[in-house]
Amino acid sequence: MSSFRAPPRKGENFELSADLNSEYREKRKDAIKKVIANMTVGKDVSGLFPDVLKNMQTDDLEQKKLVYLYLMNYAKTQPELVILAVNTFVKDTDDSNPLVRALAIRTMGCLRAEKIIDYLCDPLQKCLRDDNPYVRKTAALCVAKLYDLKPELVVENGFVETLQEMIADSNPMVVANTVAALTDIHIAAVAAGSSQEVFVITPTILNKLLVALNECSEWGRVEILTALARYESPDDRESEHICERVVPQLQHANASVVLGAVKVIMIHMRNVHSENLTKQFIRKMAPPLVTLLSNPPEVQWVALRNINLLLQKRHDILSNEMRVFFCKYNDPLYVKVEKLDIMVRLAGENNVDALLSELKEYASEVDVDFVRRSIKAIGQTAIKIDEAAERCVNVLLELINTRVSYVVQEAVVVMKDIFRKYPSTYEGVIPTLCANLDELDEPEAKASLIWIIGEYANKIDNADELLGIFVDTFTEESYPVQLQTLTAVVKLYLQKPEGSQGLVQSILNTATKDCDSPDVRDRAYIYWRLLSTDPGAAKAVVLSHRPPISLPRTTVAPALLEELLSEIPTLASVYHKPAETFVGRGRIGVDSVQQRNSSELPDDRSATQKALQTVAAGRQAENLLDFDDVSAEDGQQPSGLAATTVLASTPAAANLLSGTSSNPLDDLVSIFGSVSMTPVQPPQPANALGGFGSPVATSPPVGLPAAASPPVQQASSNDLLGLF
């Protein structure tokens, strides 16, 4: 890197330097363009700083802009040189051309050099009261940047007060930018731990915002909608009013305005008690969401993720629109996957036939991943709609007859779930399934088929033969298959003791002696002990009645769902995770979430906070230094989550969990509010995450197992634990 004190003597920069000092205006301008071009591609042109600076005073606006661009790029590395430019900047803020004034004030805000900032305040003060709205709106954003660098300067000069006055500006663009600046300052202040609210939305400000909402640019509308979402209305009348004023925004062409409006309505609708009005708002929200599907796939995807979330809360909003979600052959996979999920959510008795013929079509496509998901969706439909189960089974049978390996395997896995949901209903298909035994090479499919054979061992004549195949290759199979084989053989033995004694003997031998998985070994020992001591107990355990399965209505915990819905268009709602778990701005984490919680909140809201904290605690768990006595409370939060999920449905259960108090709110506080009441436990981050990952586990109905853990496994081992 060449120092600016010793200009390069040859090469491109040397020539540029000569050109920058040329007496011809055009040559100088061209040289500046070349410098900027080099800067863009990452070449070091910092050595030309003094030469470029000389070209700053010019009447040519374009040239001025280019020089400013250069300055912004290198101000950080060469602050002492930027001082030379200060006079020109200050002079420019007095220029007769408003564009020049705005440009100067904007550039000064962007330079991020300490020395410049001291000179910024006076011109900024002036520009905030400029006649021209363009200058005013530029200056408003500049305040936010100044706050980022030196908050105390903003406070000293009373800029925040000026901004608050500017919300009443006559120009809607200025209002929008002012709101954006105030929001930025607010966020920065909260992140820095300031206790004082910088941007309090009073009813007067609220009205100004609602007026400006209809008049400013799309970006301004998003800013205002974000601010409106933060406002806590004192009564339901005002909430209604806000909703009504925001509803027209649903017809805006810009998708982010539409989803921003959805968010505001979802938040303020919580206060609207009139069921009629709520329904009306919901009805108005649905069509704009569907319209978003005419956009490019990226926007579609974000819209679909959000629709998915909305449907979990309000499954009736799009019930007549399922066809819109039919997948096209050339949709990207990420869009197809979301559409599938939504279609199953929308499935009902009236549209299940259309859905099934569509899913069958998808199952014959080329894309393996999509085909598998489609077959899964058929299974989910069967479990969701009792009346359609038989039709689903027929479709699955047709698919099995195609003999395409991955189709057959996935169909077998899905059949297992259907057998669980409707025991002893579709035994007729078992021979077809067994006929495909040789096709199976995936552990999950094998385990599923073995489970089915074990479950219906007394109905299948050659069950011992079929299981014998797996017993022979026992040690070569994967653990899930081994576990299933073990259980199935024991089931067979308990139902048809005659003829299967040898089989059970050999598998127990192999499993206890030659198997290297402790899980398999332990289960074999337990079975062995059971069988040898009390066959009656063994029957009670192994052949016990299994709890029915159902399709989980939500994929996230109810409390978390509330939180996500109020975050609607943001990343949190796209990833279906609270923001705290993936974007850690500064110290927003367990601490700040807890701070938020400390204030008294309405019941359901605080439940939400708690679910959030649990997740955040899990996220931060690796940072052990954080776990002083504050975090000792975090260790208890797994139970907090369990309590909150139950609480949502039955407050009584929460009482049981947390103690004796009759007020649910007190209980919530006692769960993790006071360290003194409950013994300090070590943090259990793994549990915290586990609790979040499978909300199903905390509620009685066992969800559709998607992963490689067949339900019987869970059920039987649970039963065993209960026995001992």
324 binds another protein (CB under 8 A): yes
183 binds another protein (CB under 8 A): yes
394 binds another protein (CB under 8 A): no
User: Residue 241 CB, nearest distance to another protein (Å)?
Assistant: 15
Other CB atoms within a 10 A radius of the CB of residue 341 amount to 21
Beta carbons of 451 and 712 less than 8 angstroms apart: yes
Query: DSSP string of 602-667?
Result: -HHHHHHHHHHHHHHHHHGGG-GGG-SHHHHHHTTHHHHHHHHHHHHH-HHHHHHHH-S-S-HHHH
Site for another protein in 39-58 (CB under 8 A): 40
Could you say which of 202, 204, 274, 364 contacts another protein (CB under 8 A)?
364
402 binds another protein (CB under 8 A): no
168 binds another protein (CB under 8 A): no
- Between 223 and 442, whose beta carbon lies closer to another protein? 223
Any bridge partners for residue 702, and if so which? 549
Q: Is 549 helix (H, G, I), strand (E, B) or coil?
A: strand
User: Residue 510 CB, nearest distance to another protein (Å)?
Assistant: 39
Burial class, 217, CB count within 10 angstroms (exposed 0-12 / middle 13-18 / buried 19+): middle
180 binds another protein (CB under 8 A): yes
- Between 321 and 604, whose beta carbon lies closer to another protein? 321
User: Residue 415 CB, nearest distance to another protein (Å)?
Assistant: 24
User: Residue 272 CB, nearest distance to another protein (Å)?
Assistant: 20
Could you say which of 71, 246, 285, 303 contacts another protein (CB under 8 A)?
303
- Between 257 and 489, whose beta carbon lies closer to another protein? 257
- Between 538 and 574, whose beta carbon lies closer to another protein? 574
Site for another protein in 518-577 (CB under 8 A): 567, 569-572, 574-575
User: Residue 406 CB, nearest distance to another protein (Å)?
Assistant: 12
Site for another protein in 423-442 (CB under 8 A): none
User: Residue 324 CB, nearest distance to another protein (Å)?
Assistant: 7
Beta carbons of 152 and 111 less than 8 angstroms apart: no
CA distance 212 to 224: 8
User: Residue 39 CB, nearest distance to another protein (Å)?
Assistant: 10
333 binds another protein (CB under 8 A): yes
- Pull the structure tokens for residue 669: 């506080």
582 binds another protein (CB under 8 A): yes
User: Residue 404 CB, nearest distance to another protein (Å)?
Assistant: 9
- Pull the structure tokens for residue 299: 């926007």
Beta carbons of 399 and 375 less than 8 angstroms apart: yes
- Between 90 and 187, whose beta carbon lies closer to another protein? 187
User: Residue 566 CB, nearest distance to another protein (Å)?
Assistant: 11
Instruction: Give the x/- contact pattern for another protein in 611-650, rule: CB under 8 A.
Output: ----------------------------------------
- Between 358 and 455, whose beta carbon lies closer to another protein? 358
Q: Which amino acid is at 213?
A: L
Could you say which of 328, 518, 600, 676 contacts another protein (CB under 8 A)?
328
Other CB atoms within a 10 A radius of the CB of residue 16 amount to 22
In 497-575, alpha helices (H): 501-513, 518-533, 535-542, 558-565, 571-575
- Dihedral sign for Cα atoms in the order 703, 706, 711, 713: negative
CA distance 62 to 81: 22
- Between 259 and 590, whose beta carbon lies closer to another protein? 259
- Between 18 and 571, whose beta carbon lies closer to another protein? 571
H or E stretch at 546:
none
CA distance 491 to 543: 7
Could you say which of 51, 169, 358, 477 contacts another protein (CB under 8 A)?
358
CA distance 702 to 383: 12
Closest to 400 measured CA to CA, from 410, 388, 389: 410
Q: Cα dist. 516→443, 470, 512, 513, 522 in Å? A: 17, 17, 9, 8, 11
38 binds another protein (CB under 8 A): no
Closest to 118 measured CA to CA, from 76, 86, 95: 86
- Between 51 and 633, whose beta carbon lies closer to another protein? 51
Site for another protein in 213-232 (CB under 8 A): 214, 216-219, 222-223, 226
- Cα angle 354, 356, 362; round to 5: 105
Size of residue set near another protein by CB under 8 A: 103
193 binds another protein (CB under 8 A): no
Q: Which stretch in 116-124, 307-315, 357-365, 410-418 sits in contact with another protein by CB under 8 A?
A: 357-365
Site for another protein in 680-699 (CB under 8 A): none
151 binds another protein (CB under 8 A): no
Instruction: Give the x/- contact pattern for another protein in 585-614, rule: CB under 8 A.
Output: xx----------------------------
CA distance 381 to 189: 49
User: Residue 699 CB, nearest distance to another protein (Å)?
Assistant: 28
Burial class, 412, CB count within 10 angstroms (exposed 0-12 / middle 13-18 / buried 19+): buried
CA distance 598 to 611: 14
Any bridge partners for residue 549, and if so which? 702
- Between 24 and 724, whose beta carbon lies closer to another protein? 24
Q: Which stretch in 15-23, 358-366, 455-463, 670-678 sits in contact with another protein by CB under 8 A?
A: 358-366
- Between 359 and 515, whose beta carbon lies closer to another protein? 359
- Between 305 and 416, whose beta carbon lies closer to another protein? 305
Q: What is the CA radius of gyration of the chain?
A: 33
User: Residue 170 CB, nearest distance to another protein (Å)?
Assistant: 9
Other CB atoms within a 10 A radius of the CB of residue 58 amount to 17
Could you say which of 334, 406, 422, 479 contacts another protein (CB under 8 A)?
334
Instruction: Give the x/- contact pattern for another protein in 97-136, rule: CB under 8 A.
Output: xxx------x--xx-x-------------------xxx--
Beta carbons of 281 and 274 less than 8 angstroms apart: no
Beta carbons of 276 and 240 less than 8 angstroms apart: no
- Pull the structure tokens for residue 653: 């259960």
Relative orientation angle of helices 711-723 and 535-542, to the nearest 10 degrees: 140
User: Residue 180 CB, nearest distance to another protein (Å)?
Assistant: 5
37 binds another protein (CB under 8 A): yes
61 binds another protein (CB under 8 A): yes
Site for another protein in 240-299 (CB under 8 A): 248-249, 251-256, 258-260, 287-288, 290-291, 294, 296-299
Beta carbons of 95 and 107 less than 8 angstroms apart: no
- Between 339 and 345, whose beta carbon lies closer to another protein? 339
Could you say which of 4, 7, 148, 505 contacts another protein (CB under 8 A)?
148
